[in-house]
A and B are shown apart, each in its own frame.
Chain A
Amino acid sequence: MLENLRKRFTNSDGERQDFKEIFINNAIYFVIGAMILFIIISEPSFLSIRVFKNILTQSSVRLILALGVGGIIILQGTDLSLGRNVGFSAIITGSFLQSFSYGSRFYQTLPDWVWRFSETGEVLSFQWYFYILVLIVAMLTSAFFSAINGFVVAKFHVHPFLATLGGSVALYGILLLYFNTSDAGPQPIGSLDPTYSSFVSNWEFLGMEIPKLILYSIMIAVIMWFVWNKTTFGKNMYAVGGNPEAAKISGVNVLKTTVLVYVLAGLLYGVGGYLEVARVGSVNSAFGFNYELDAIAACVVGGISFSGGIGKISGAVAGVLMFTVISYGMVYLGIEAYYQYIIKGVIIVAAVALDTRKYIKKT
């Protein structure tokens, strides 16, 4: 740690780097830190358990999505279809997990085996395994569409921006086709099953109420940390992102690795969609629109570099948290939405500019 710090503060000639350099290289953190400080000073009540919990809850799904797209960014890619993909898995989830008592259900009739009945033959809820089955269907659907993106990118060398842009548009069409098959006609899907909704309620622990979403996202972040850092797949992902040519001649299957990274991202989008519907409480065809922007922005702010091969789980976590604190804080201060957009946009571009700056040698 000390060694690292010393390295940061001295350059190759052993001279001390000037503080200006250090400040500029980490400027995004200083700026965000200053903004948070400003929010706290203007509205001291911002420092409360309730706000803290809200911020963590709002960060949860965003983190799951950011961890998915983060892997793709490490591959020098990006995923513009994230939002539509999340939307699709959300619609699938909602369409199956509506409350039985609700009249205009997406599926008016579902086979008997999905239900749990009382002794008198009334529907109580879904069978426990049906909740899991729907989750798996949502994950596989997202993984499938993401895998197509990955295949197109790796096999035909289509730039990920274009591959996923096209993928996103086509996916929206498929999503609408599915949405319109509803028995109740195309209308927003609401009145979700209460057991399902309780998946994202609070968990009581030692008298505290902890939102379950936070626990899910922590769990996923831990799993993803192992996947990225401790598995062959993870190391191959960094290698392919850092230098695809080197990976190829070292016998890494670049096509397989790329497709797997997209599949993994898709699985996480599926989980994200599944949980997001429960959090929001209803879903329509526009659900998930532009979610990719928040997720990608959080990755970039957290130092997952578009130049490839660089990025950490901790970076994604930090990026999501900082981004959410700023967004939430601005709402908290009652800043008008127009200004919120401007500030967020400037943060994203500044983060990329500062990130890029580190890799440009000055002459």
Chain B
Amino acid sequence: MSQYLLEIKGVCKSFSGVQVLKDVDLNVRAGSIHALMGENGAGKSTLMKCLFGIYKQDKGTFFLNGEPFNFTDPKHALEHGVSMVHQELNQVLQRTVSDNIWLGRYPRKGIFVDEPKMYQDTKNLFERIGVAIDPNAKLADLSVSQRQMVEIVKAVSYNAKVIVLDEPTSSLTENEVNKLFEIMRNLRKEGLGLIYISHKMEEIFDISDEVTVLRDGDYIGTTPTKELTMDKIINMMVGRDLEHRFPHKAHTIGEPIFEVRNLSTLYEPKVHEVSFTLHKGEILGISGLVGSRRTELVEALFGARTRSAGEFFLAGEPITNRNPVEAIANGFALITEERRETGIYPVSDIKFNTTIANVQSYKGPIGLLDNARMTSDTQKQIDVMRIKTPSQKELIRALSGGNQQKVIIGRWLLTNPDILLMDEPTRGIDVGAKFEIYQLMLDLVSQGKSIIMVSSEMPELIGITDRIAVMSNGHLAGIVNTKNTNQEELFKMTTMYL
């Protein structure tokens, strides 16, 4: 009997000549939570895909309880007790909880599905794990975190011995994360081995027993979490010392530039009577739980949400921002939260993605677009933002998350905005790329632009902003000076109107 539940030994994998995994090891003990870390593109997901038989590794072996195995597809892996909670929830929202959990393996009684058994089994699982959800509820009626729980219960329901959790907390609030961690600790107690993939340092220290770090496909090492510090992990991940996680701030804040008075929105989810003032050269953070209507607030500022009341003043002059077209004309830009859904045009190239918001300005004398100018502007953005791409002709979906985000920021900078609304600008991108985005934001405010930045990550808000506005259930709970606040105070404010 091996001392490890799951052993991965010397896995190599190349795609068309590019080696993305070089001799990677990963050993997971039974009854432990093993964090797998690395920047985007470090090879974490490739490794997991090899484990699940989605890819075939070039070299290397997997052992489960000392027995070598090689799964041919995800179903095969599931049947052998290795399951995964995917980052993007793959669920059938129109169906019930128990329909989703037993999908692909419904219990049968004769030719019919045995629904009473399905219901009972689901209920038993929920009780065992400590989840209070009705098995007959429709998934669409559940919150994101409840759906996340359902997905975890589903993973457990395969009698899993090993569960991989791929960034399960990226859309959860702090309370919900705590609930999730409670469940993970219960599973650990039952002797399962959990592989936990996350970019959030605080969580890694909170929950994991051991940390394995990959960098550019190399196995860097495995260390008990107790012996690690944040700087050490970052050092392992990026291979250089990031002096700090945040760049140095040196900008000065100027005159008030944009004032919002008593803003309320008409449709659900509603924003209620929000007032604040944004200054020239300022980064104003917006904090709050998921569902506190932060996104709705910036959408209302941008004219993408119908207002029921409220006035805007730009440099003292009243403006309306009735729709995004007006907002853009007034010098606003919105970088949306869901990069994949509302940000990028995935099957178009970098040039198209960079120039599309500003395409009006490239019109030549007879209405045709000036291609040379579009190319030179795109190149300028690629250089300024240090976007890593082989050429402008590359499709944007081929870039990493951080580089996609840079293209989108570049797109909006071409419209020469004075006020940038950024909704979770660093979600799902790795430490190194985050640092570059922060630097870029600070460069922008130094040039006299102003930024409103929505973020779920409190360290990021505290590290980068000048002031933080806290939203709570659609109300503005208050605005604090970043220098004089801390996470506890912010968290208290987020729950003010609950």
Main SS of the interface on chain B? loop
Is B232 at the interface (CB under 8 A from chain A)? no
Question: Which residue of chain A has the shortest Cβ distance to B291 in the bound complex?
Answer: A12
Query: Interface readout for B81-107 with A: 1 if CB under 8 Å, 0 if not?
Result: 000001000111111000110011110
B268 near A252 (CB under 8 angstroms)?
no
- Residues of B104-135 at the interface with A, using a CB-CB cut-off of 8 Å, are 104-106, 108, 111-113, 115
Query: Interface readout for B307-337 with A: 1 if CB under 8 Å, 0 if not?
Result: 0000000000000000000000000000000
CB neighbours (8 Å) of A236 from chain B are 103-104
Distance (whole angstroms) from the CB of B443 to the closest CB of chain A: 32
Distance (whole angstroms) from the CB of A148 to the closest CB of chain B: 26
Distance (whole angstroms) from the CB of B293 to the closest CB of chain A: 12
B91 near A363 (CB under 8 angstroms)?
no
B92 near A243 (CB under 8 angstroms)?
yes
A231 near B92 (CB under 8 angstroms)?
no
A251 near B90 (CB under 8 angstroms)?
no
Task: For A309, give its contact among B86, B92, B267 (CB under 8 Å).
Answer: B92
Known contacts A250-B104, A251-B104; A238/B113 CB under 8 A: no
Known contacts A230-B112, A235-B103, A252-B103; A363/B304 CB under 8 A: yes
A239 near B113 (CB under 8 angstroms)?
no
Question: Which residue of chain A has the shortest Cβ distance to B88 in the bound complex?
Answer: A245
Distance (whole angstroms) from the CB of A361 to the closest CB of chain B: 8
B90 near A243 (CB under 8 angstroms)?
yes
Is B299 at the interface (CB under 8 A from chain A)? yes
- Give the docked Cα–Cα distance between A243 and B115 (Å): 21
- Give the docked Cα–Cα distance between A43 and B134 (Å): 50
Distance (whole angstroms) from the CB of B421 to the closest CB of chain A: 15
Known contacts A230-B112, A250-B104, A363-B305; A12/B92 CB under 8 A: no
B103 near A250 (CB under 8 angstroms)?
yes
CB neighbours (8 Å) of B108 from chain A are 232
A11 near B268 (CB under 8 angstroms)?
yes
Question: Which residue of chain B has the shortest Cβ distance to A310 in the bound complex?
Answer: B94
Distance (whole angstroms) from the CB of B383 to the closest CB of chain A: 36
CB neighbours (8 Å) of B86 from chain A are 249
A226 near B112 (CB under 8 angstroms)?
yes
Distance (whole angstroms) from the CB of B82 to the closest CB of chain A: 13
B94 near A309 (CB under 8 angstroms)?
yes
Is B74 at the interface (CB under 8 A from chain A)? yes
**Residue picked from A242, A247, A308, A309, most chain B C-beta under 10 Å:** A242
CB neighbours (8 Å) of B100 from chain A are 239, 246
- Give the docked Cα–Cα distance between A236 and B100 (Å): 10
- Residues of A255-303 at the interface with B, using a CB-CB cut-off of 8 Å, are none
How many chain B residues touch the partner (CB < 8 A)?
A: 28
CB neighbours (8 Å) of A230 from chain B are 112-113, 115
CB neighbours (8 Å) of A363 from chain B are 267, 299, 304-306
CB neighbours (8 Å) of A242 from chain B are 92-95
A232 near B92 (CB under 8 angstroms)?
no
CB neighbours (8 Å) of B305 from chain A are 363
Known contacts A245-B90, A363-B306; A252/B104 CB under 8 A: yes
CB neighbours (8 Å) of A12 from chain B are 268-269
CB neighbours (8 Å) of A226 from chain B are 112
- Give the docked Cα–Cα distance between A230 and B114 (Å): 8
Is A13 at the interface (CB under 8 A from chain B)? yes
Question: Which residue of chain B has the shortest Cβ distance to A240 in the bound complex?
Answer: B92
CB neighbours (8 Å) of B106 from chain A are 232, 235
- Give the docked Cα–Cα distance between A231 and B99 (Å): 12
A251 near B78 (CB under 8 angstroms)?
yes
A231 near B112 (CB under 8 angstroms)?
yes
Is A362 at the interface (CB under 8 A from chain B)? yes
- Give the docked Cα–Cα distance between A251 and B76 (Å): 9
Distance (whole angstroms) from the CB of B85 to the closest CB of chain A: 11
Question: Which residue of chain A has the shortest Cβ distance to B78 in the bound complex?
Answer: A251
Distance (whole angstroms) from the CB of B341 to the closest CB of chain A: 13
Closest 5 CB pairs of A and B: A251-B104, A242-B92, A251-B75, A250-B104, A246-B90
**Partner-A contacts on B (CB < 8 A):** 74-75, 78, 86, 90-95, 99-100, 103-106, 108, 111-113, 115, 267-269, 299, 304-306
18 additional contacts (CB under 8 A) given A239-B100, A308-B94? A226-B112, A230-B113, A231-B113, A235-B95, A235-B99, A235-B106, A242-B95, A243-B90, A243-B92, A246-B92, A246-B100, A247-B104, A251-B104, A252-B104, A309-B92, A309-B94, A362-B306, A363-B304
**Partner-B contacts on A (CB < 8 A):** 11-13, 226, 230-232, 235-236, 238-239, 242-243, 245-247, 249-252, 308-310, 362-363
24 A–B contacts from the bound complex (CB under 8 Å): A12-B269, A226-B112, A230-B113, A232-B108, A232-B113, A235-B106, A238-B92, A238-B94, A239-B100, A242-B92, A242-B93, A243-B91, A243-B92, A243-B93, A245-B90, A246-B90, A246-B100, A246-B103, A249-B90, A250-B90, A309-B93, A362-B267, A363-B299, A363-B304
